[in-house]
Structure 1
Amino acid sequence: MKRISAWVFALFLLALIAGCGGGNQTTSSSSVANDELPAALRDTSISAKGDAQRGQEVFGQCSPCHTTTREVLVGPGLAGMFSASGPVLPNGVDYNGLLPNGKERSEANIAEWIRSGGTGKIGYMPSHNLTDQQMADLMAYLRTLK
């Protein structure tokens, strides 16, 4: 009887671990609720001060290299930037959910990357001198891109 109890307990633990995400599972961004996103992606401290419609105008500066979809141009399409899976990158490029500079995707880090630019596996991102309001507007707009 002790042997059966041990097996039942072991199966219970396995079910508990699997249910808590103990395995390496990937979930599409469309099925991940906002409250299941990492805290860095849920933080709207910059975009909350912005206007997405004005952000669409600011995005005009980005459009020579980026799309508002998942289509890759020179740089990645920016749809999904604030989703669990992130934007679609060119084949062979994987930042493991991080930005090209190795920092997590958060509004503050994305704003820093936009302002400072840098080199990633795809190529060079030039710096963009946006005001705080322009950045807030841009972040609000980027959050609308699914």
Structure 2
Amino acid sequence: MKRMSAWIFALFLLALIAGCGGGNQATSSSSTATNELPAVLLDTSISVKGDAQRGQEVFGQCAPCHTTTKEVLIGPGLAGLFSASGPNLPKGVDYNGLLPNGKERSESNVAEWIRTGGTGKIGYMPSHNLTDQQMADLMAYLRTLK
């Protein structure tokens, strides 16, 4: 029994160490950084059906309020929307990595936010009636913004 407990404890420690990622070690590989993203940000179930080039055209509807960089207009710059750090928000605004409606930044939640709109700390986001294909194209384009 002691031997089995020791094995379980050793496996627990190994899992704990692996989950910690080795502390403050810097990684230079972008694939490693991608693997560290939460699953919700890695889900491409909508964007995989889209075309980023067509999505750039769809983004024209968003351009009056959003940039494709980190520059803030009326709304946040959307570069990095699906990165760990998220989009660049105005000074003093922090959604704790979530959308203004309190949901995670998954493609389906971003699509819902775009379609329904709402009010956040920055202001009002109007709803946009996009087809499923337009939304897939837009998500594919938003994924290219770094």
TM-score computed with the length of structure 1 as normaliser: 0.81
- What pairs up with 1:1-146 in 2 under 5 angstroms? 20=20, 33-146=33-146
Runs of 4+ in 1 over 4 A off after TM superposition: none
Name the SS of the counterpart of 2:134 in structure 1. helix
1:143 deviates by 0.2
**Deviations 1:13-34 (Å, cap 9, x if unpaired)?**
8xx76x81698x8x9xx96622
**Deviations 1:45-101 (Å, cap 9, x if unpaired)?**
000000000000000000000000000000000000000000000000000000000
Identity of aligned residues (%): 87
Letter in 1 for 2:53: Q
Letter in 1 for 2:76: P
Q: How many Å separate the matches in 2 of 1:77 and 1:34? A: 21
1:35 deviates by 1.4
Q: How many Å separate the matches in 1 of 2:63 and 2:141? A: 13
Q: How many Å separate the matches in 2 of 1:50 and 1:21? A: 33
Q: Which runs of 5+ in 2 are unaligned?
A: 1-12
Q: How many Å separate the matches in 2 of 1:34 and 1:131? A: 29
Q: How many Å separate the matches in 1 of 2:60 and 2:123? A: 20
Letter in 1 for 2:55: G
